Amino acid sequence: MSETNVSGVQKAAILLITLGDELSAQIMSHLDDEEVQEVSKEIAVTKMVSPDVADAVVEEFYNMMLAKKFIAKGGLEYAKTLLTKSLGPERARKVIDRLTKMLEQTSGFEFLSRVEPKQLAKFIANEHPQTIALVLAHLDPSHAAESLAELPDDLKAEVTIRIANLQDISPSVVKTLAKVLEERFESISSYNVEVGGAKAVAEIFNRMDKNTSKIVMERLEKDAPSLVASIRDMMFVFDDIKRLGNTAIQEILKRADKKTLTLALKGADDELKEKFFANMSKRGVEAMKEEMEFMGPVKLKDVEKAQHEIVEIVRELDSEGLVSISGGEEDQYV
C-alpha cells in the first residue's frame, strides 16, 4: 500500500489502527452501521502499513480537522488565511479543496445553496429549531448568517444556541434529513413571495361579508370563469381553520376521517394543532400524536391532499350553515 493509491475507506482504517483500540472504539460509536461494516472489513484485511503512509494519513486527518475548525469559527476565507500561514499556500489550497469537495458530497444540502436567504428562511421557518440549526450548520457561513437574519425574532436566538451546541451527528441522519427537505422543496413550483394574483383576491374575499363576495363572484364569473375557479379554490385554505371557533372545530372532528385529519395536521403549525387538541379528549390527543410520530417523514403532496379533504368538509359545514368561513367574528353559527 503506497501513499498515492489509498482510498477513503482505507485511510479511515489506517487512522483507526494508528490511534489504537480505545480511541478507535469512541470514533466508531459515531458511525452508522454501514460505515462500521465497511471500515471494520478494511481493518480486517489490512495486514501491514508503512510508517510513511500512516504518518501521511494522520497528518491529512489533522489538517482536515484543523480546516474544519477554522471554517466553523470564521468561515472559508478565515480558514484559508490561517491554513496558509501554518501549512503554506499549496498545501492549504489542497486541504480546503478536499474538505469542500467532501462536504459537498456528504451533506446533501447543496440544493439549498441556490436558494436566496429570504426564501430559504421562509422554507425552513416551520421546521423544528434543531432541524433549522442542522441545516444552517451545513451551509456556507455567509449564506447561513443571512438566512438566520431572515428568521422570526423568537427563532433566531434559539437556533443560534442550538448551532453552538450541535454535537457530532451521523452522516446517515444528515443525508435522510437533506433528502426529505429536498423532496419538499422540489414539490413547490415557486418560492417567490406572491404579490397580487388570485390568492390576494381570495384573501380579500375571505374578509368580505358573504353576500358581497357572492355578488362580486357572480359578476366575475361571466368574464373570467377560470379566475373565479382559482379564487374559490383559494378562498379558504387549511391554515385558515385556526380562525374558526371551538364549535366549528368540534363539527370538523365529528365528520373528518381520523387518519386523514392526522395526516393533515402532520404538516400544520403548532397553533393549529393545539386548536384541534384543545377540543379532543386527552386519550384522543395522545393517540393522534403517537400516530404522527409513527408516520415518520411524509410527502408534502400527501399532506396537502389530506388538508384539501378537510377544507372540503369545512366548506360543506359552511354551506349547511353550521359554520361560517367568510368574514365577520370568529364564531358565527346558525
- Cα distance between residue 220 and residue 105, in whole Å: 53
pLDDT tens, 238-286? 888 888 889 999 999 999 999 999 999 988 888 999 999 999 999 999 9
Q: How would residue 329 be classed by pLDDT, with cut points 50, 70 and 90?
A: very low
Q: How would residue 328 be classed by pLDDT, with cut points 50, 70 and 90?
A: very low
> What are the C-alpha distances in Å from 121 to residues 21, 150, 161, 177, 184?
44, 6, 17, 17, 14
How are the residues of the chain apportioned to helix, strand and coil, as percentages rounded to the nearest 5?
75, 0, 25
Residues 6+ apart with CB under 8 A from 43: 13, 16, 17
Task: Decide if pLDDT at 228 tops 90.
Answer: no
Tell me what pLDDT residue 156 has. 85
Task: Decide if pLDDT at 333 tops 60.
Answer: no
Instruction: Give 16 or 211, the one with higher predicted confidence.
Output: 16
Which stretches of the chain are DSSP H helices? 8-19, 21-28, 33-45, 51-74, 76-87, 89-107, 117-124, 129-137, 141-150, 153-164, 171-186, 197-206, 210-223, 225-234, 246-255, 258-266, 270-277, 282-295, 300-319
- The pLDDT of 88-116, averaged and rounded, is 68
- The pLDDT of 307-322, averaged and rounded, is 85
Q: pTM of the predicted model, to two decimals?
A: 0.35
173-181 long-range CB contacts below 8 Å, 24 or more apart? 173/32, 174/106, 174/107, 174/108, 174/134, 174/138, 175/106, 175/107, 175/108, 176/297, 177/108, 177/131, 177/134, 177/135, 178/107, 178/108, 178/109, 178/138, 179/108, 180/297, 181/109, 181/112, 181/124, 181/135
Tell me what pLDDT residue 256 has. 92
Task: Decide if pLDDT at 79 tops 90.
Answer: no
Task: Decide if pLDDT at 133 tops 50.
Answer: yes
Report the length, in residues, of the chain: 334
- The pLDDT of 207-229, averaged and rounded, is 71
Tell me what pLDDT residue 175 has. 73
For the ranges 59-63, 121-125, 139-143, 255-259, the one whose mean pLDDT is highest: 255-259
| Cβ 135 vs Cβ 124: under 8 Å | yes
Using a 10 angstrom Cβ sphere, with 0-12 exposed, 13-18 middle and 19 or more buried, the burial of residue 207 is exposed
113-122, 127-136, 302-311: the lowest-pLDDT one: 113-122
Task: Decide if pLDDT at 8 tops 60.
Answer: yes
Q: How would residue 190 be classed by pLDDT, with cut points 50, 70 and 90?
A: very low
- The pLDDT of 5-9, averaged and rounded, is 76
The one-letter amino acid code at 285 reads V
Instruction: Give 215 or 278, the one with higher predicted confidence.
Output: 278
| Cβ 27 vs Cβ 39: under 8 Å | no
Tell me what pLDDT residue 279 has. 94
- The pLDDT of 181-195, averaged and rounded, is 56
Which stretches of 296-334 are DSSP H helices? 300-319
Q: How would residue 195 be classed by pLDDT, with cut points 50, 70 and 90?
A: very low
| Cβ 258 vs Cβ 266: under 8 Å | no
Set of cell numbers at residue 60: 491529512
- Cα distance between residue 310 and residue 305, in whole Å: 9
Tell me what pLDDT residue 126 has. 85
Q: How would residue 209 be classed by pLDDT, with cut points 50, 70 and 90?
A: low
Task: Decide if pLDDT at 331 tops 60.
Answer: no
What average pLDDT does the chain have?
A: 77
- Cα distance between residue 68 and residue 62, in whole Å: 10
Q: How would residue 192 be classed by pLDDT, with cut points 50, 70 and 90?
A: very low
Task: Decide if pLDDT at 300 tops 80.
Answer: yes
| Cβ 159 vs Cβ 136: under 8 Å | yes
- The pLDDT of 185-206, averaged and rounded, is 54
